[in-house]
Structures are given as structure tokens and as C-alpha cells.
Structure 1
């Protein structure tokens, strides 16, 4: 029998999908600030220049990362849709948005990335088209569906935009700095300071930022759905 000792396993060819999968894993572990073309090249075992064939520079890499996250959302939503046959518009949208949130919680850097990219991944339009179709099937007009999209905002993608402090490049809000700023302004902002103190998140509550807890996310969804139900009537 021929010995296989010393036989090197063939290296997996570099592809855009493989590079983006490695980039996602890297950012999940260390945050967006750790992502450079050179670091990613080392992760996939190629020279940095080889990446440029698949991803044209850092901006192209970030655009690709945003596309990968949206693709993951679409897959999660499709899996949920397969279980919701016969459900009404509210149940369908609620489960879709919660499925998108699971993806965001898996990649806590994603809200900051999606909020900052100048280019919107094409898949986002298809996703929102599906939301409009669900509303129309539920008896809403295009006018109310349009207003609903404005109201949903980023909630449809699984995260709430920060009210007072945007997420940092790493996808996490600087909670201590924000609290220190508010404490210093307590006399000028007594109600805001008191609210922050009263509404500090439970450490066990899945959160994507200082103002984005799971409880608040679902509360806002239900509030919007209640309002849409009244608007439909």
C-alpha cells in the first residue's frame, strides 16, 4: 500500500465566497477593526494581491461582507416562511423580522456595517419587495405599505438604530462613555438621565447596542403592527 506520509492536501481554490466566509469568521471573532486585506489574505493562505481579483480593495470587501449578511438574512427568512403557510400578515412579518434579528445577534458588527455602507446590496430590495407583497396580501394599500416601510426602518433587518449613540466600528455601542456623558449632564438632562438609569439592560437580554434590547425590539414591532392594523381598518 502506497504511503501517504508527506503528501500535502491540495489547497482549496480561492473564491469570493471563501474569502467572504473567512472575513465573516474573522470579524465575528475580533470585530471590524481587525479586518484588513493583508489579515484576510493570511487567513485564507494567499498573497494580499490575490484577494483583489475577487474583492476590489477594502471598500469592495466591506460591500461584499454586507452582501453576505443580507444573503444570510434571506436564507433565514426563507426557512421561516416555509413554516408559516396560512399565517396572517402580522405573524409572517413578525417571524421574518425576528429571523433577521437572529442573524444580527450572530454578527453584532453587522448593524454598524449595514448602516454605514454607501451602496445598498441588491438583495435588500428583493427582501423589502417581499415585505410589501405580504402587506398587500394582508389587505393593505400601496400607500399604507409605503408608510409601513418608513416605520419599520432597520427593524425589518433585525436591529434598531441607536437613538443617542451610533454603534462603533466594532458593532458595539460605547456604553460606559455614553453613561458618563449623561451623568455629567444630569442637571441639564434630568429626565433623560433618569430614564437611562431606570432602563439599563439586563445582562441576560440579547442586545445589539445601548438602545437595542430584545424586549425593546419586540415591543416596537408589536406597537407598529397594532398601528398598521388600525390604519388598514
Structure 2
């Protein structure tokens, strides 16, 4: 004979959380809608980051005149900067895909902070190369994880979130040369140190974003992805990626 089940009034009044607990962070974020404050913060940080990144090329004329550099040496500064800023991005993205690092954005921005300080006092060509590489390293750490946060904060509106995120970067790229003309040209190389205040502001913002991001991370293994029957073959995906990289390369070649 079955025993009667006794349910207390407290149990009946308690909210049911099982369904929400079973969902992943992305699903919960999508149901909650866009996190506008986080999205605005990561976009503004993108603006600050790309402002400092574009500053490097903007001060080339000053460095060329101050140290009598030739175009080959200017090109090496660009290589040192782009090697860390661009080529290391896939490495950082691969690492953070395996294990998310919520505070890596603030730490990476610290590299930009020190790079600007070193560049402002550099008196040797080798030190200029090191400073450019440090600034580039901050950008390499910033972009992969910040793009992930923009998607996580989108609330399912991925196109909107990505466009807001990219808007900050585009505006920052255009602002760097303007600030260089207003500050660095009249006050010289030591005035580059003032831009480290921008990096410090970005560190504070990104640390706060990391605090928001940390609870969103799950240690559970992701569910296996089942491809749609009409999904493109791996060979076509690789070809599309190669074409995309070629288009981006050609764009940067003349910009």
C-alpha cells in the first residue's frame, strides 16, 4: 500500500529553479536580454584599446625625426607591433577557448599600459621595438576574449552586440591620430606617457567586466554539436576561411 506524500507549505511556496539551473550561461543570458551596461563597457574598452593601438603608427614621423630612422627601421617597428597584436591573437583565442580567463582582459591591458610608458622614455631603437611589442600584446589579449564577452552580453541579439562592439573599435582607430596631433606633436615623445592614463581607465573597466564575466563561465563540458544535414563540408569551410583572411589582408594592405 502506497504511503501518502506530505508536502509542506514551504515547499509549495518555494520557486522551482531546476529548469533554469539546467540551462547554460549562454541560454540564461539570452533569456535575460542584452546586458547593456556590459555591452557598453566592452565597446568603450574597445574604443580605448584601438585608440592606443592606432597611436603607434601616428607617432612614426616623430620617431623618424628624433632618431634618424629609415623606412626599413620604421617597418621593423610595425612588424614588432603587428607580430604580437595580430599573429598572437589566434594563440590567445585557442587558449581561452579551452579555459576562459575572465580577468585576462585587464591583465592584457596592463601590457599596453607599460608599453606606452616605455615608449615615452625610450632612447634606443631596441627599446622602441620592445615598447611596440608590449602595446601589441595587449591588443592580442584583448580582442578574442572581448568579442566573446560581447556575444555573451548580447542576450541573443548577436548582430546588434557585435556591431556595437565594432563601433567602439572603429571610432578608437580614428581617434588615435587626432590625439597624437593634439598632444604628441606639440609636446613630444614624453607626452605619450599621458596615454597610459587611458590604459589605466581601461584596466578598471575591464576588471569590473571580469567580475561580471566570472559567474557566467561554466566548467561543464559543452554538449556535442550535431551538424545540420545541409551544413557545408569541412573543405568548403576551410576555403571560406582562407578567402576571408585574404580579403582582410588586402583591406589592411591599403588602409
TM > 0.5 between the two?
no
TM-score in terms of structure 2 length: 0.32
Q: Which has the higher contact order (CA 8 A, sep 6+)?
A: 2
By percentage of residues, which structure has more helix?
2
- Structure with bigger gyration radius: 2
TM-score in terms of structure 1 length: 0.35
